[in-house]
């Protein structure tokens, strides 16, 4: 992303600092030089003004209290002067939309400095001065906002500045946005964003249901009427956004939708049960534990498997029923039918677990057949927990045949949750078993504890609330909905659904499903939600499901599927295993002529075989990122299905299906437009298709004509991307040049 350092000038210069929304802008003010000397009879060197020096944004902490339609924000920032000389200047805070500053003050060495509030017109003059002097338009994303300003004098060498700010902000619906990042100079690699950012948000009300951040990973702690949402981020490149649902019913349901004129819209649906539902209110369930006891489980693995089985048995309630199937070359039962989870039966089951030994081959087909025979058609939720460390070696060994058998034998529609132990499993088999039967798959690495990993997942599915869920969109025309089939809802969990729509938004939506043995319906609300994050999150999920579907069918990723993945990757700047693998080919990846980057490094370049990217910023066996991802594909273009590569393919497609993907550098999405850095020019994705039929207008950067254009708020956002820009606007091609 663009890097805009937090500048202060050395003594003799004045500057201003800005962070986005909670942001600092740095605006150098004219230096006060001594009177000019008389011109000597020979050329005299031009005096060089002191250079601008960056203040480092060390940390920022935000504490937020949300009550009704109002959010109270306390923001604390620490800035450090990394130089050996004192600095002075002006600090400016660009106020978030709808914010009213109740107290703006800065402390420096224990001294409190008051601030002045500037209106939007005065702020625009300051922004324009910054752009004229700094030749960087990033601050234009703040056009239209007011500014709080405070003079800084001096910032001691190697000293810190503590900034504290309190403001109140009105919120619309169930959404809150918090500025976290600074737009920073693209050429400055050292300043970056805040090294550490933390957020703590207090929400009130027992009617809170789903809580979701489309931008950051969060933790949620509930205690009666109070819910605390928190997160800690390093070098965050996004502002923080939080969404939530409320409701008086057992399940809360909200649909957030946004649309750009002339295009289909994108929606996010959130659904979650009441966290206060008691165990007594949750219906009884049937659970069958299917554990691999083949010879490959010998040693520590079989011991951990025994302990994991005992842990799962301990999670059952007295009204549940259970069964146990162990398998090696053949299947073995604890009891031929399911039994009640009474103390007597549970004690006997633990004794059975203690007697499990590792011996023989791996007959997965017979194990599944035995488990499905044990299930019964019932209104009770039924679950199968399947654990193996290997591939089928006895009985039916064809993966597609095993999957087809499972579909035909699961007449009771039991949910299947699979666990793969170690690196020798067939990940395609385990993933497909889970997805075909509306469950989930997970993998336990050799160094991980089976008991801990299996127990952690089962806690999430121990208390089913709603099964066979379906959404009624209230007449809204929707397409490309992911996940295509809704998972069951459990106490303590929530469901997120992304999709596209066109047409007017409905007033209400609803969710139906089986709850406590009967069909239930829950009403939900619809809220407009303008965000650049939703389309990208939807596209990421679509790519994940396209890759996983090809993997499920054991097909090569080719033809229309391949082209769709590449198109979405380019439009939304998403790094995928396919784009990384394709850059190892001789043909060019259709990403213009730009380098396709991830945050961790260069992933690849069209038609180039030289790479230096890596995963999470660290080398893995010294194998470049693109080569690692290309190893996930066979020579025929199929994703790997077994072994370490198969597990890696499973985890990567799962991350995409959950909306987790590395963002590509050189791509920015701003107000519905995608800009790609092509030969140093930020180019609108609409340009190639429309440039031949539209008139072109060339405007010089930072000219009077340029600043007139900036008066349009949307155009100001687009032009903030850089000094050299090509954008399609009002059916014309607008080219900004130095």
Strand partners, 6: 55
Q: What does the pLDDT average to over 103-130? A: 69
Distance (Å, rounded) from C-alpha 454 to C-alpha 441? 11
Query: Does residue 595 surpass a pLDDT of 90?
Result: no
What count of Cα atoms within 13 Å lies in the side-chain half-sphere of residue 650? 28
Outline where DSSP puts E strands in 473-537. 477-482, 489-490, 495-502, 508-515, 518-528
Burial class (CB in 10 A: 0-12, 13-18, 19+), 210: buried
Average pLDDT along the chain = 79
The reported pLDDT for the residue numbered 136 is: 67
Strand partners, 386: 290, 418
Q: What does the pLDDT average to over 269-295? A: 90
Q: Name the CATH code of domain 6-32+50-244 (choices 1.10.12, 3.30.70, 1.10.10, 2.60.40).
A: 2.60.40
Q: Where in the chain is the domain with CATH 3.40.50.410?
A: 283-462
Tokens of 14: 């004045």
Q: Helix, strand, or coil here: 525?
A: strand
Query: Please, what is the angle between helix 533-552 and helix 559-572, to 10°?
Result: 160
Q: Where in the chain is the domain with CATH 2.60.40?
A: 6-32+50-244, 260-279+465-526
Helix (H) or strand (E) holding 244: strand 240-246
The rounded radius of gyration (Å) of the Cα atoms in the chain is: 29
Over residues 351-361, the pLDDT tens digits come to 999 999 999 99
Q: What does the pLDDT average to over 158-182? A: 80
Name the band, by pLDDT with cuts 50, 70 and 90, for residue 537: very high
Which of the 8 DSSP states describes residue 84? Answer: S
587 vs 367, more confident: 367
User: For the stretch 476-508, what's the b/e string if a residue is b when 16 or more beta carbons lie within 10 angstroms of its beta carbon?
Assistant: bebebbbbeebbbbbbbbbbbbbbbbeeebeee
Q: What does the pLDDT average to over 609-618? A: 28
The reported pLDDT for the residue numbered 338 is: 94
Cis preceding-peptide flag for 499 (omega within 30 of 0): no
The reported pLDDT for the residue numbered 498 is: 96
Burial class (CB in 10 A: 0-12, 13-18, 19+), 248: exposed
Distance (Å, rounded) from C-alpha 286 to C-alpha 372? 12
Distance (Å, rounded) from C-alpha 251 to C-alpha 489? 9
Nearest Cα neighbor of 168 from 116, 236, 96 is: 96
Over residues 623-675, the pLDDT tens digits come to 334 334 556 666 556 778 888 888 888 888 898 999 887 766 778 888 878 88
| Domain formed by 260-279+465-526, architecture | Sandwich (2.60)
Query: Does residue 192 surpass a pLDDT of 50?
Result: no
Over residues 300-326, the pLDDT tens digits come to 889 999 999 999 999 899 999 999 999
Q: What does the pLDDT average to over 108-125? A: 70
Class of domain 283-462: alpha beta
The reported pLDDT for the residue numbered 242 is: 92
Contact 6, 182 (CB under 8 A): yes
The reported pLDDT for the residue numbered 726 is: 93
The reported pLDDT for the residue numbered 611 is: 24
How many other β-carbons are positioned within 10 Å of the β-carbon of residue 121? 9
The predicted model scores a pTM of: 0.80
How many other β-carbons are positioned within 10 Å of the β-carbon of residue 611? 21
Over residues 61-70, the pLDDT tens digits come to 999 999 888 8
């Amino acid at each position: 992303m663009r890097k805009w350092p937090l500048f202060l000038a050395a003594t003799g210069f004045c500057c201003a600092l800005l962070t986005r929304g909670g942001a600092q802008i740095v605006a150098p003010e004219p230096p006060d030089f001594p009177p000019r000397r008389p011109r000597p009879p020979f050329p005299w060197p031009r005096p060089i003004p002191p250079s601008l020096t960056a203040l480092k944004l060390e940390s920022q902490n935000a504490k937020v209290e949300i009550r009704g339609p109002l959010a109270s924000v306390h923001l604390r920032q620490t800035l450090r002067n990394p130089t050996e000389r004192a600095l002075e200047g002006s600090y400016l805070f660009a106020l978030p939309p709808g914010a009213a500053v109740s107290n703006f003050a800065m402390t420096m060495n224990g001294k409190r400095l008051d601030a002045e509030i500037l209106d939007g017109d005065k702020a625009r003059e300051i922004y324009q001065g910054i752009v004229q002097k700094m030749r960087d338009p990033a601050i234009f994303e703040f056009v239209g906002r007011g500014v709080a300003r405070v003079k800084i004098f001096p910032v001691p060498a190697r000293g810190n500045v503590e900034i504290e700010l309190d403001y109140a902000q009105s919120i619309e619906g169930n959404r809150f946005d918090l500025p976290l990042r600074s737009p920073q100079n693209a050429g400055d690699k050292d300043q970056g964003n805040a090294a550490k950012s933390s957020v703590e948000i207090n929400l009130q009300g027992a009617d809170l249901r789903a809580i979701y951040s489309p931008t950051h990973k969060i933790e949620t702690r509930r205690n009666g009427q109070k819910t605390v949402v928190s997160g800690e981020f390093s070098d965050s490149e996004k502002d923080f956004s939080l969404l939530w649902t409320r409701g008086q019913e057992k399940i809360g349901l909200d649909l957030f939708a946004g649309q750009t004129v002339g295009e289909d819209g994108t929606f996010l649906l959130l659904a979650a049960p009441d966290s206060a539902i008691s165990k007594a209110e949750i219906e009884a369930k049937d659970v069958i534990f299917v554990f691999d006891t083949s010879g490959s489980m010998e040693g520590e693995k079989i011991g951990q498997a025994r302990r994991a089985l005992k842990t799962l048995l301990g999670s059952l309630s007295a009204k549940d029923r259970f069964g146990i199937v162990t398998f090696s070359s053949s299947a073995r039962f604890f009891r031929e039918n399911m039994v009640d989870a009474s103390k007597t039966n549970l004690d006997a089951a633990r004794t059975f677990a203690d007697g499990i030994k590792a011996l023989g081959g791996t007959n997965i087909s017979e194990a599944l057949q035995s488990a499905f025979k044990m299930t019964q058609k019932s209104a009770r939720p039924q679950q199968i927990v399947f654990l193996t460390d290997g591939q089928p070696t006895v009985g039916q060994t064809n993966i597609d045949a095993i999957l087809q058998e499972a579909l035909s034998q699961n007449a009771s529609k039991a949910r299947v949750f699979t666990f793969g132990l170690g690196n020798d499993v067939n990940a395609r088999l385990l993933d497909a078993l889970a997805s075909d039967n509306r469950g989930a798959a997970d993998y336990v690495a050799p160094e991980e504890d089976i008991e801990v990993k299996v127990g952690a997942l089962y806690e999430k599915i121990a208390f089913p609330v709603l099964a066979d869920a379906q959404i009624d969109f209230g007449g809204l025309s929707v397409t490309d909905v992911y996940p295509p089939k809704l998972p069951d809802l459990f106490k303590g969990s929530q469901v997120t659904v992304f999709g596209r729509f066109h047409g007017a938004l409905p007033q209400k939506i609803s969710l139906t499903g089986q709850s406590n043995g009967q069909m239930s319906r829950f009403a939900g609300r619809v809220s407009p939600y303008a965000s650049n994050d939703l389309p990208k999150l939807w596209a990421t999920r679509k790519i994940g499901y396209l890759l996983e579907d090809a993997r499920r069918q054991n097909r090569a990723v080719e033809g229309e599927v391949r082209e769709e993945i590449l198109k979405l990757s380019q439009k939304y700047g998403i790094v995928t295993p396919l784009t990384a693998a394709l850059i190892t080919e001789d043909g060019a990846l259709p990403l213009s002529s730009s380098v396709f980057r991830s945050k961790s490094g260069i992933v690849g370049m069209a038609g180039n075989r030289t790479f230096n990217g890596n995963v999470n910023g660290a080398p893995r066996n010294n194998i470049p990122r693109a080569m690692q991802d290309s190893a996930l594909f066979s020579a025929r273009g199929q994703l790997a299905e077994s072994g370490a590569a198969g597990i890696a393919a499973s985890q990567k497609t799962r991350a995409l299906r959950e909306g987790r993907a590395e963002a590509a550098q050189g791509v920015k999405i701003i107000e519905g437009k995608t800009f790609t850095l092509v030969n140093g020019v930020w180019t609108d994705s609409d340009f190639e298709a429309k440039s031949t039929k539209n008139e072109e207008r060339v405007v010089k950067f930072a000219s009077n004509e340029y600043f007139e254009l900036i008066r349009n708020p949307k155009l100001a956002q687009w032009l903030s991307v850089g000094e050299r820009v090509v954008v399609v606007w009002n059916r014309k091609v607008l080219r900004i040049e130095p």
